[in-house]
Amino acid sequence: MIYRSTFNPKVRANFEEAVFLGLPDAKGLYMPEHIPELPSGFFNELGQKSLVDIAYSVLQPYVEGSIDAESLKDIVLDTLSFPIPLTPIHDHVLSLELFHGPTLAFKDVGARFLARALGYFAAEKNNETTVLVATSGDTGSAVAHGFFEVPNVKVVVLYPKGKVSDFQRKQMTTLGKNIQAIEIDGVFDDCQNLVKQAFLDTDLRESKTLTSANSINVARFLPQMVYYFWAISQIQRNYPEHKLSPTYFTVPSGNYGNITAGLFAHRMGLDIQGFIAATNSNDSFPKYLESGNYFAQPSVATLSNAMDVGDPSNVRRIQDLFSHDIQSIRQVIQSKSYTDIQCLQAIEEVFKTHKYLLDPHGAIAYNACELVPKNGLSIILETAHPIKFKEVVESVIPDAVPMPSHISAQSDHEFKISMTSDFDSFKEYLLSNV
Ligand SMILES: *Cc1c(COP(=O)(O)O)cnc(C)c1O
């Protein structure tokens, strides 16, 4: 597969190059040159396929030429080592539970795939690689865990000071070894800017093999397609009554990587009716759908903080996918923003009425099911386990959240350093310490 820049189609790379470079140029993101359609036989048998078989078929064309078939099988088997069940909340809303991985968030899927793909390339070349990642919470912990103790790879994770939960912070700071956490005095966009600048810096590029791990990286972003197919596979297998319902995926969106992966799945032939991009007060995308003009906004802190992104990178991939035609985007995606109060109300109502515990991100998605037509079926993407946002969830439902049994108590020993959002000192740190 060849990847090209959304900004300049002449900038091209194969999968391996796109993974290492992260960004093609200062303004673009990598896009596959074409989106392969899966054969009808694949869809006819979707209900009998395993998660790992689906992952292999879906991802194979995207890594062709860079990862051989046997290695890809090993990578997906190892990546998807946890269940992704589809659980009913009530008759018309099902929850795709993406939080059963090691860091209890959907980002485990992409982060584990990326870590294993990079590990595969690093082993082939025997070359030290530094992964830079900016996070508003969940990316950092998923990436840190995905890469922990992977030989030849060092991870530097930047997060905004005071803007991630204690639980999230500890997931990034207590590992140590090849994982360095840096606390930035600023917001998520400052962290993201530092990472973007590092990739464009000639000195750094000459002296280090740098790569990104944000949802902009093709190896993070593409594997997220898999569970959209897996959700429909589970409908065919376990919920025959819903087989013919027009189905909508409701995706709690921050940097819009997750929903973009869903749009790719749709292009590959997955038969679904549409998508709802559910957002918190960071509403540049719903405003864009409404007005047709995209404006970045400063990010705003909310209770669903993994989605506090004012200028979502993947909007460029969405625009590219639809050839910048706002009308065609509107035919497939609807979007709406919800307040913290609406988020808390959904957590409370769904727990009291349906005995299902949502996390704040899933709660934003649940709210947005109101946009699905009455005869439609909503699949919300439940992107994090409620324990990750214990303080928020327990503010409306006291003592509701037990610790999942496979998660051990967190250590108190944190390895982290603090910095401002000044690029020169970050660069200095990377040159001398990494
Ligand atoms: C990252 C994250 C999101 C947003 O996903 P994007 O791909 O950035 O849109 C939603 N929920 C949770 C829990 C997250 O960690």
Question: Ligand 1 pocket test: which of 159, 214, 255 has the largest number of ligand atoms within 8 Å of its C-beta?
Answer: 255
Look at residue 408 in the predicted model and tell me its pLDDT.
Answer: 61
Q: From the CB of residue 311, how many other CB atoms can be counted at a distance below 10 Å?
A: 18
Residue 112 CA to ligand 1 center (angstroms) comes to 16
Report d(CA 93, CA 36) in Å as an integer: 30
Share of the chain above pLDDT 90, in %: 80
For ligand 1, say whether the CB of 253 is within 6 Å of any of its atoms: yes
Cα–Cα distance, 185 to 330 (Å, whole number): 37
HSE at residue 322, side-chain half, CA atoms within 13 A, is 19
Residue range 84-110: mean pLDDT, rounded: 95
- Choose the residue to mutate in 106, 259, 343, 381 for probing ligand 1, maximizing ligand atoms within 8 Å of C-beta: 106
Look at strands 12-14 and 2-5 and give their pairing.
Answer: antiparallel
One DSSP character per residue, 196-265 reads HHHHH-HHHHHH--EEE-STTSHHHHGGGGHHHHHHHHHHHHH-GGGTTS-EEEEEE-SSSHHHHHHHHH
> 139 CA to middle of ligand 1, Å?
8
Angle among Cα 302, 306, 312 to the nearest 5 degrees reads 95
- What is the Å distance from ligand 1's center to 51 Cα? 21
The closest-lying atom of ligand 1 relative to the alpha carbon of residue 260 is: 7
For 49-93, the pLDDT digits (tens) are 999 999 999 999 999 999 999 999 999 999 999 999 999 999 999
- Could you give the domains of the chain? 83-106+221-394 (3.40.50.1100)
Distance (Å, whole) CA 20 – CA 209: 8
* pTM: predicted TM-score of the whole model, two decimal places: 0.90
Answer yes or no: is the C-beta of 363 below 6 A from any ligand 1 atom: no
- Per the CB < 8 A criterion, the answer to whether 84 and 98 are in contact is yes
Q: Residue 123 — pLDDT band, cuts 50, 70, 90?
A: confident
Mutation test residue for ligand 1: of 215, 307, 388, 393, the one with most atoms within 8 Å of CB: 307
Q: Give the orientation angle of helix 226-238 with respect to helix 257-267, to 10 degrees.
A: 60
Q: Which residue has the tokens 């970045």?
A: 296
| Cβ of 367 below 6 Å from ligand 1 | no
pLDDT at 230: 98
The residue nearest atom 14 of ligand 1, judged by CA position, is 306
Distance from the CA of 389 to the center of ligand 1, in angstroms? 13
Q: Is 257 in the pocket of ligand 1 (CB under 6 A)?
A: yes
pLDDT at 406: 65
Residue 152 has pLDDT above 90, yes or no: no
Q: Write the residue with the smallest CA distance to atom 1 of ligand 1.
A: 306
Our answer on whether the CB atom of 105 is closer than 6 Å to any ligand 1 atom is: yes
Amino acid sitting at position 197 = Q
**pLDDT of amino acid 128:** 85
Q: What's the mean pLDDT in 141-166?
A: 89
Sheet holding 210-212, edge to edge: 210-212, 129-134, 153-160, 179-184, 416-419
Counting ligand 1 atoms within 8 A of each CB, the residue from 358, 359, 361, 380 with the most, and so the one to mutate, is: 361
Quick: pLDDT tens for 393-416: 999 999 888 777 766 667 778 989
Does the beta carbon of 258 lie inside 6 Å of ligand 1? yes
Q: Cα separation of 132 and 108, whole Å?
A: 16
pLDDT of residue 401: 81
Instruction: Take residue 98 and report the two structure tokens written for it.
Output: 């993406």
* pLDDT for the residue 140: 84
User: Do the Cβ atoms of 225 and 264 come closer than 8 Å?
Assistant: yes
Task: Indicate whether residue 173 lines ligand 1 (CB < 6 A).
Answer: no
Binding site membership of 101 for ligand 1 (Cβ less than 6 Å): no
pLDDT in tens, 374-388: 999 999 999 999 998
3-state DSSP of 134-203: ECCCHHHHHHHHHHCCCCCEEEEEEEECCCCCHHHHHHHHCCCCCEEEEEECCCHHHHHHHHHHHHHCHH
Q: What percent of the chain has pLDDT over 70?
A: 98
DSSP line for 42-65: HHHTGGG--HHHHHHHHHHHHHTT
- Per-residue pLDDT reduced to its tens digit, 204-232: 988 888 887 776 899 999 999 999 999 99
Separation in Å, CA 191 to CA 25, 156, 227, 426: 19, 11, 29, 10
The answer on pLDDT for 335 being more than 70 is: yes
Q: Measured from the CB, is residue 336 less than 6 Å from ligand 1?
A: no
Q: Is 255 in the pocket of ligand 1 (CB under 6 A)?
A: yes
When pLDDT is averaged across residues 255-264 and rounded to a whole number, the result is 97
Q: Is the CB of 358 under 6 A from ligand 1?
A: no
